[in-house]
Amino acid sequence: MPDNYLQAAVEIARQAGQILREEFARPVNISYKGDEVDLVTQAARQGKVVAAICHGPSAIIEAGAARGRKIASWPSLKTDLRNAGAEWIDKEAVTDGNLVTARKPEDIPAFNRAVIELFSAGVQQKRPAA
């Protein structure tokens, strides 16, 4: 992951929340840096928006923020999410409190609408991570 992406992600997390791109989770070779997981952990604990698509929810699992949440993802994460205490949902976009998730690139329009709606609402449905 280029440093400029991580720096931008840090600034986003400080302000409003964290949006995880698919490559954030590196599905072929998942290997997290402490800073990446810390961003998700802090955003979730503070009730900030955390949005993830495709394999991005892997970072939510790693951050310990999946338990008790409804999460959409790429189907190969279904078992991992359930093992982490989440309810896997097969929908194009799922909003659960401050968390927005989606399954795949084809779901990006619905994912974007859900993220914009949550930011526009001022994240009034905050639900800190378990």
Look at residue 130 and tell me if it is in a domain: no
Structural domain containing residue 25:
3-120
Look at residue 20 and tell me if it is in a domain: yes
Look at residue 42 and tell me if it is in a domain: yes
User: Residue 8 belongs to a domain with what CATH number?
Assistant: 3.40.50.880
Respond yes or no: is residue 35 known to be catalytic: no
Look at residue 17 and tell me if it is in a domain: yes
Structurally, the chain folds into a number of domains equal to 1
Q: Is 2 exposed, middle or buried (0-12, 13-18, 19+ CB in 10 A)?
A: exposed
DSSP for residue 19: E
Note the pTM of the prediction, 2 decimals. Answer: 0.75
* Cα Rg of the chain (Å, integer): 13
| 9, 40, 43, 55: the active-site residue | 55
Q: Which residues pair with 101 in a beta bridge?
A: 52, 94
Confidence of residue 5 (pLDDT cuts 50, 70, 90): low
Look at residue 51 and tell me if it is in a domain: yes
Look at residue 128 and tell me if it is in a domain: no
Q: Using CA atoms, how far apart are residues 73 and 22, in angstroms rounded to an integer? A: 10
Look at residue 129 and tell me if it is in a domain: no
Average pLDDT in the 104-118 region?
Answer: 91
Respond yes or no: is residue 116 known to be catalytic: no
Which carries the bigger pLDDT value, residue 48 or residue 7? 48
Average pLDDT in the 43-56 region?
Answer: 87
Report residue 79 as tokens: 């078992």
Average pLDDT in the 27-37 region?
Answer: 58
Which carries the bigger pLDDT value, residue 43 or residue 69? 69
Mind giving me the DSSP string for 25-88?
Answer: G-TTS----HHHHHHHHHHHHTT-EEEEETTTHHHHHHTT--TT-EE---GGGHHHHHHTT-EE
Report residue 100 as tokens: 């927005």
| 25, 49, 53, 54: the active-site residue | 54
